[in-house]
Amino acid sequence: MLREIVLDTETTGTDPAKGDRVIEIGCVELLNHIPTGKSYHVYINPERPVSAGAFAVHGLSDEFLADKPVFATIADEFADFVGDARLVIHNAAFDIGFLNAELARTGHRPYNLADAVDTLSMARRKHPGAANNLDALCTRYGIDNSRRTKHGALLDAEILAEVYIELIGGRQVGFDLSLRPSARSRAAQEQAAARDARPRSLVSRLTDAERAAHEAFIQSLGENAIWREYLGKATPEASS
């Protein structure tokens, strides 16, 4: 069974090498590309100020983060939630670079960028020359992102999970949750049975001689016989 974690982070800035830190992590679990409903979300005290540029993106202030746990406090639970799952990230190099800087401080195993699924790279290959940020992909695939007035790690991870499923063709190929493979085959069998149960016209077994004798009998009843109206037979005048 393939287990994947769709992940997003928010940070104090853009460069972990210059001391910028992770301030929010959001994760959504997928099993065989299907959301399980399990998620992980935490705000983190970065122990340094949030830059003005980063605050304009996510709106997480120094005051809001002041009473949140530091990364070292949540490192074990975060690592346990991810486990050995494959990471799915939009612009994976950015988030993994920040996470590995945090994990190095706590002595945890770093993540291998080569093992992650980068949905930004996937989108660029699938839609070359087009805008491939998360908002643009939501518009392209008809995904509702109206709640996304500011960047938020968990909300972005949830939206990215939907985008990822679209990028791999999930809705087009086997992602109809209302009909799993066994249910689809049962439905096909039921439809075939319904077709077989429909009334069908019976093939007449009358001989030509029997038909001629019946027609002669109808003629003997006269032009005003009710049989003519019932059977839709034309009178001699009408057919002449």
Q: Output the average pLDDT for the chain.
A: 84
Neighbours of 141 (CB within 10 A): 13
- Ranges of residues in the chain whose predicted pLDDT is under 70: 149, 170-206, 214, 222, 224-240
What pLDDT is attached to residue 206? Answer: 67
What CATH number should be reported for the domain holding residue 173? 3.30.420.10
What pLDDT is attached to residue 202? Answer: 53
Q: Which of 178, 193, 218 finishes a domain? A: 178
Check whether residue 66 and residue 9 sit in a common domain.
Answer: yes
* Residues carrying an active site annotation: 151
Instruction: Give the DSSP H or E segment for 38.
Output: strand 34-43
Question: 131: Cβ–Cβ under 8 A, 6 or more apart, which residues?
Answer: none
Nearest Cα to 2, choosing from 78, 85, 81, 83? 85
Check whether residue 231 and residue 132 sit in a common domain.
Answer: no
